[in-house]
Amino acid sequence: MAEREFREQELPEQEFPEQDPVKLYVPKRKNLHTVRDPFAPVGVFDSGVGGLTVFREIMRQMPEERLVYFGDTARLPYGAKSRETVIRFSRQIVRFLRSQGVKAIVIACNTASSFALETLARESDIPVIGVIYAGALTAARTTKNGCVGVIGTRGTVKSRIYEQVIRSLNPEVRVIQKACPLFVPLVEEGLIHDSVTDEIASRYLQELKGKYVDTLVLGCTHYPLLRSTIAKIMGDEVTLVNPAYETAVELKEILGREKLLNPGQVQADAAPADGEQYRFFVSDLAESFTDFAASILPGRVKNAQKIEIEEY
Amino acid sequence: MAEREFREQELPEQEFPEQDPVKLYVPKRKNLHTVRDPFAPVGVFDSGVGGLTVFREIMRQMPEERLVYFGDTARLPYGAKSRETVIRFSRQIVRFLRSQGVKAIVIACNTASSFALETLARESDIPVIGVIYAGALTAARTTKNGCVGVIGTRGTVKSRIYEQVIRSLNPEVRVIQKACPLFVPLVEEGLIHDSVTDEIASRYLQELKGKYVDTLVLGCTHYPLLRSTIAKIMGDEVTLVNPAYETAVELKEILGREKLLNPGQVQADAAPADGEQYRFFVSDLAESFTDFAASILPGRVKNAQKIEIEEY
């Protein structure tokens, strides 16, 4: 009981209404699959470039799949936006991705997964998955001492979404959260291996080290790029959970179950007119998109096409 | 001539079409002032919180003025967005501010000043001023050795807007630019006096120190909050130019010339129904707005009201 009291003190105040995480995070099964074409692409979206770490994991684990990426570069970041705004933006993006004939959608953004997954999955007749459930499930299964750390942006931490999902899976798990707002700008400035990033990471993670977490969720799509720095500070005894990796595993499982995995043979009438396996769309021609995308997907990003997302 | 060749090599490539800075930055005089009420408020807008440093300077220099602030927190930051998108967003904001009966508008955002001032001033019948012209003019007048440094976000530096305006005022001035993308997140993380910020600032500014600038323009609205750190690194021999201060001076001059300065007496029928001298509107309820606003305008920010900017 002392343990439980301690946890109650440590956690920040609840700011969003409680929800049923199971209802939220298990894809709806009814009315699925009006697009039942295994050769159709998978849609992946994020507020900007961060979701490319999820895109990369899907490429690695399912090299036969065609992928369409959308980065909402005109309106990023989502982290400080309200639930209502994020749902509105996400609906527009889903309408755009549906116009590209996708067979499934991956919300590769923690904020949009947290705020919009339930709504989008309810409204959709194809599978829609977010980045939170798979990472939370892995964390709940991995921890041995029942103490899981979660790092993310201010928005993700404030939403307490990982905590809700992890504890819905195992109410005995204690979840310690820590916001690391400088990680994204440091990564985007290219300071991935740098003394300043080491110093900032040490400050952010010190608090978690003092609380004996044995499992740490990288709860922001940029953070896998700082994996080695974070691993060095946390030490070998802490297992890092990368939701990007786990989400790709979950996607593969769902596509397999639904017989929607791309068999990898060319089907002439289903092939895209432009023949591209990977296509990238943005809501604004942010040069940082192509620079960053090229740096994490070398040779894969020919160009990104701008679309007017507000028209969808 | 060796000097000139050196400059040509040092400057980054031009990426935006050249424009006539005089045409761009001097407010249009024709058809002005359909709202000619000195008791009306001045509208100030930015993509987020940065413009509050300009708001603060106007408060200090013109304590009688009523001010309406709009921060586009749903769509920030503007720095990486295209000219076309920034103009579209800025037009919506001007329509909103006009609905509040403003007598003049200050674009307290470098990106919007750079991309949208010409269009907005042309379309408007009240004075519209940006943050770039006044700072550039002061820099051109201040430098003794003809070597001016400009620091800003990636977007501002890439636009080369300060360089264009400074050199239109004095073609003999050499302008050295340096993007400092981590300054904004460091300020917003509250690390204003911190060893990490000192280290990052040293790295960014080293390049400018080696080039003998005697005048440095703080070309981003957040940067005045790092003034003491920047001053320490640059040394006493370098004059820092704060465009927020210079813009407030310019506003006062224009309002004075147009007989639009608020005389400070209460005019019953012109007083706002809510009696507030300073009002704040945002496009999304970003908590960071009120936190940050309260930190730089202590006691002045009671609340910020959310409006649907896309409906304007």
- For residue A78, the chain B residue with the least C-alpha distance is B74
Please give the Cα distance from B162 to B180 (Å, whole number): 15
Answer whether B138's CB lies under 8 Å from B131's CB: no
Q: Which of B86, B196, B204, B290 is the best mutation test for A, with the most CBs of A within 10 A?
A: B196
Q: Taking a C-beta distance cutoff of 8 angstroms, is the pair B81, B274 a contact?
A: no
Average pLDDT over residues B158-164: 92
User: What average pLDDT does range A78-91 have in this prediction?
Assistant: 88
Q: What is the pLDDT of residue A210?
A: 82
pLDDT on residue A154: 84
B184 contact partners, CB below 8 Å, separation of at least 6: A185, B50, B77, B153, B220, B222
pLDDT in tens, A45-82: 999 899 999 999 999 999 999 999 999 988 888 877 78
| Least confident piece of the model among A2-16, A173-187, B114-128 | A2-16
Is the pLDDT at B197 greater than 80? The verdict is yes
Whether residue B220 lies in the annotated active site: yes
The pLDDT-based confidence of B23 (bands split at 50, 70, 90) is very low
How close A80 comes to chain B (CA, Å)? Answer: 5
What DSSP assignment string belongs to A245-284?
HHHHHHHHHHHHHTT--------GGGS-TT--SEEEEESS
Q: Which residues of A fall within a CB distance of 8 Å from B199?
A: 195-196
What pLDDT, on a 0 to 100 scale, did the predictor assign at position B144?
A: 97
CA–CA gap between residue A142 and residue A298 (Å, rounded): 32
Q: Which residue of A has its CA nearest to B80?
A: A286
Of the ranges A41-45, A149-153, A225-229, B82-86, which one carries the lowest mean pLDDT score?
B82-86
pLDDT, position A292: 83
CB contact under 8 A, B81 and A284: yes
β-strands A147-152, A215-218 pairing: parallel
Q: What confidence score (pLDDT) does residue B241 get?
A: 98
Per the structure block, which two tokens stand in for A132? Answer: 């939170």
pLDDT(A243) > 70: yes
Residues paired with residue A92 on neighbouring β-strands, in sequence order: none
pLDDT at B133 over 80: yes
The residue with greater pLDDT, B205 or B82, is B205
Chain B partners of A195 at a C-beta cutoff of 8 Å? 199
Average pLDDT over residues A75-95: 89
Q: State yes or no: pLDDT of B227 exceeds 70.
A: yes
- Residues in chain B with CB shorter than 8 Å from the CB of A286 are 80-81
Whether B147 sits among the annotated catalytic residues: the reply is no
- Residue B50 predicted with pLDDT over 70: yes
Residue whose pair of structure tokens reads 């899981």 in the numeric block: A148
- The per-type count for chain B, helices as H runs and strands as E runs, is 13, 10
**Cβ contacts of A80 on chain B, cutoff 8 Å:** 73, 284, 286-288
What distance lies between CA A64 and its chain's CA centroid?
Answer: 21
Task: Report, as an integer, the average pLDDT of A229-253.
Answer: 97
Q: Round the average pLDDT of chain A to a whole number and report it.
A: 86
Interchain pair A80, B154: CB under 8 A: no
Q: CA–CA distance from B132 to each of A81, B74, B220, B287 (Å)?
A: 29, 24, 10, 28
Q: Is the pLDDT of residue B152 over 50?
A: yes
Chain A residues within 8 A of B75 when measuring between CB atoms: 74-75
CA distances from A234 to A205, A305, B220 (A): 7, 40, 36
Please provide the size of chain B in residues: 312
Closest partner CB to B284 (pick from A82, A184, A200): A82
Is residue B156's pLDDT more than 50?
yes
Q: Which one is catalytic: B74, B108, B139, B220? A: B220
Dist CA A245 CA A152 (whole Å): 16
Contact B136, B217 (CB under 8 A): yes
* Mean pLDDT on B128-155: 95
Amino acid at position B4, single letter? R
Reported confidence tier of residue B265, pLDDT bands at 50, 70, 90? low
Tell me what percent of the residues of chain B surpass a pLDDT of 90: 67
In this complex, how many residue pairs, one in chain A and one in chain B, have their CB atoms less than 8 Å apart?
57
Contact between residue B286 and residue A81 where contact means Cβ atoms under 8 Å apart: yes
ipTM for this prediction = 0.73
By CB neighbour count within 10 A (0-12 exposed, 13-18 middle, 19+ buried), where does A277 fall?
middle
For residue A151, what is the enclosing H or E element? strand A147-152
Identify the band that residue A274 occupies on the pLDDT scale cut at 50, 70 and 90: low
Q: Residues A87-116: what's their mean pLDDT?
A: 95
Q: Which of A109, A132, A151, A201 is catalytic?
A: A109
For residues A225 and A229, give the distance between their C-alpha atoms in angstroms, rounded to a whole number. Answer: 9
What is the pTM assigned to this prediction? Answer: 0.78
Residue B288 neighbours by CB under 8 Å, 6+ apart? A80, A154, B49, B73, B188
